[in-house]
């Protein structure tokens, strides 16, 4: 490197005899200083553990002709890089298939979905309105659980708005709820029903249709019974609307009869409260006969110690006025 810097210095000194610029002396001194400083830079020692040099020495010891008879290469690339094998960034499918460690941890079948995991614990979860797809799945799960073990109980968790949406729009026929109800009645298993969130309309019927003494409700869940609704009939002729209305009345009478059967109330009492939507919290649902117990640790004792609203009114001297205006 020093000799390469000395060449322009000698040329510049030889040319001073014919042409000597004004700053030639300063330029010659500057190049001489740089040449001396460059010549004093030490060469770094060779690292014997360098993987490139080790690989190069191994190739030279094994086959020297590989390095001696090398074709000319592009000057832009560093020499002897081709002695290294190209790194493999991804294994081929055949290599993965032959890998023992991968085969040991590879699942033998697709992972199950959440309903399948719940079904393994004999839990059926109704978390959507009762549309045909939901009814098909629930009935199939009930039949499967009975086939697996007709003596073990089945747990049905309910959080559904029945055959309507939360805004009251009809999304399914009343027969969807009756289909699940009939499947429950045909089972030999003991059925535990639990209301979580809401059990409205046909879902409330399913809640009350569990085995007596095994019908539960979360403390902040809601239950509601109402009359069936007529689906949208804007494109139907008048005669078809009348037929649909008669079918809705028939479904209402069936719903009243079944609720009266499972709640222990008379059909007249059930029909009276169903004239308008009848909402029930966990305490009211227990009093009405929809459920048997409230699922809250210590809730039974707490609710037993709490006085009823009528007792509070009597103790406070409040006189309740009925809807007709009398005392």
pLDDT exceeds 90 at position 210: yes
> Is 218 within the bounds of a domain?
yes
Beta strands in the chain (DSSP E): 123-126, 154-160, 191-200, 215-217, 222-225, 278-280, 293-294
For residue 160, the cross-strand partners are 199
Confirm whether 39 is domain-assigned. no
Q: Helices 174-186 and 238-263 meet at what angle, rounded to 10?
A: 30
Domain assignment present for 90:
no
pLDDT tens readout for residues 149-193: 999 999 999 999 998 887 778 888 888 999 999 999 999 999 999
Cβ atoms 198, 222 nearer than 8 A: yes
pLDDT exceeds 90 at position 107: no
Mean pLDDT of 245-264: 93
What is the pLDDT at residue 147?
93
Q: Of 16-25, 64-73, 275-284, give the lowest mean pLDDT range.
A: 16-25
Q: Kindly state whether residue 94 falls inside one of the protein's structural domains.
A: no
Whether 287 shows a pLDDT value over 90: the answer reads yes
pLDDT at 145: 93
Domain that holds residue 145: 110-296
Tell me whether residue 116 is in a domain.
Answer: yes
pLDDT(326) > 60:
no
Whole-structure pTM value: 0.58
Res. 106 pLDDT band, cuts 50 70 90:
low
Q: What is the 3-state secondary structure (H, E, C) of 96-159?
A: HHHCHHHHHHCCCCCCCCHHHHHHHCCEEEECCCCCHHHHHHHHHHHHHHHHHCCCCCEEEEEE
Task: Tell which wins on pLDDT, 215 or 16.
Answer: 215
Q: How confident is the model at residue 14 (pLDDT cuts 50, 70, 90)?
A: very low
In a domain, 324, yes or no: no
Residue 223 scores a pLDDT above 80: yes
The better pLDDT of the pair 206, 105 is held by: 206
When pLDDT is cut at 50, 70 and 90, the band that residue 2 belongs to is very low
Tell me the mean pLDDT in the region 71-81. 63
**Domain of 263: which CATH number?**
3.90.226.10
How far apart (Å, rounded) are the C-alpha atoms in residues 262 and 208? 6
Residue 42 has pLDDT above 90, yes or no: no
Q: Is residue 158 part of a domain?
A: yes
The answer as to whether 29 is a domain residue is no
Question: What's the number of domains the chain is made of?
Answer: 1
Compute CA distances 107 → 90, 102, 103, 112, whole Å: 21, 10, 8, 11
């Amino acid at each position: 490197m020093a000799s390469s810097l000395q060449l322009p210095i000698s040329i510049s000194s030889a040319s001073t005899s014919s042409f000597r610029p004004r700053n030639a002396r300063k330029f010659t001194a500057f190049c001489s200083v740089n040449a001396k400083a460059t010549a004093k830079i030490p060469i770094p020692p060779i690292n014997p553990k360098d993987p490139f040099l080790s690989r190069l020495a191994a190739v030279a010891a094994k086959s020297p002709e590989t390095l001696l008879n090398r074709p000319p290469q592009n000057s832009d690339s560093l020499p002897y890089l081709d002695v290294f094998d190209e790194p493999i960034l991804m294994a081929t499918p055949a290599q993965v298939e032959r890998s023992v460690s991968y085969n040991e941890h590879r699942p033998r079948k697709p992972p199950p979905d959440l309903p399948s995991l719940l079904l393994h614990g004999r839990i059926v979860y109704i978390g959507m309105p009762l549309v045909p797809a939901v009814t098909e799945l629930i009935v199939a799960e009930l039949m499967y659980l009975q086939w697996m073990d007709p003596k073990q109980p089945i747990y049905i968790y309910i959080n559904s708005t029945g055959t309507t949406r939360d805004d009251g729009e009809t999304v399914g026929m009343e027969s969807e709820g009756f289909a699940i109800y009939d499947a429950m009645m045909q089972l030999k298993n003991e059925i535990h029903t639990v209301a979580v969130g809401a059990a409205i309309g046909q879902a409330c019927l399913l809640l009350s249709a569990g085995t007596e003494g095994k019908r539960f409700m979360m403390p902040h869940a809601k239950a509601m019974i109402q009359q069936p609704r007529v689906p949208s009939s804007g494109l139907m002729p008048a005669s078809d609307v009348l037929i649909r209305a008669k079918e809705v009345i028939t479904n209402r009478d069936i719903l009243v009869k079944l609720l009266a059967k499972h709640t222990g109330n008379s059909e007249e009492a059930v029909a009276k409260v169903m004239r308008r939507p009848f909402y029930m919290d966990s305490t009211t649902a227990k009093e009405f006969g929809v459920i048997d117990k409230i699922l809250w640790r210590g809730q039974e004792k707490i609710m037993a110690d709490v006085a009823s609203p009528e007792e509070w009114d009597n103790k406070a001297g409040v006189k309740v006025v009925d809807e007709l205006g009398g005392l």
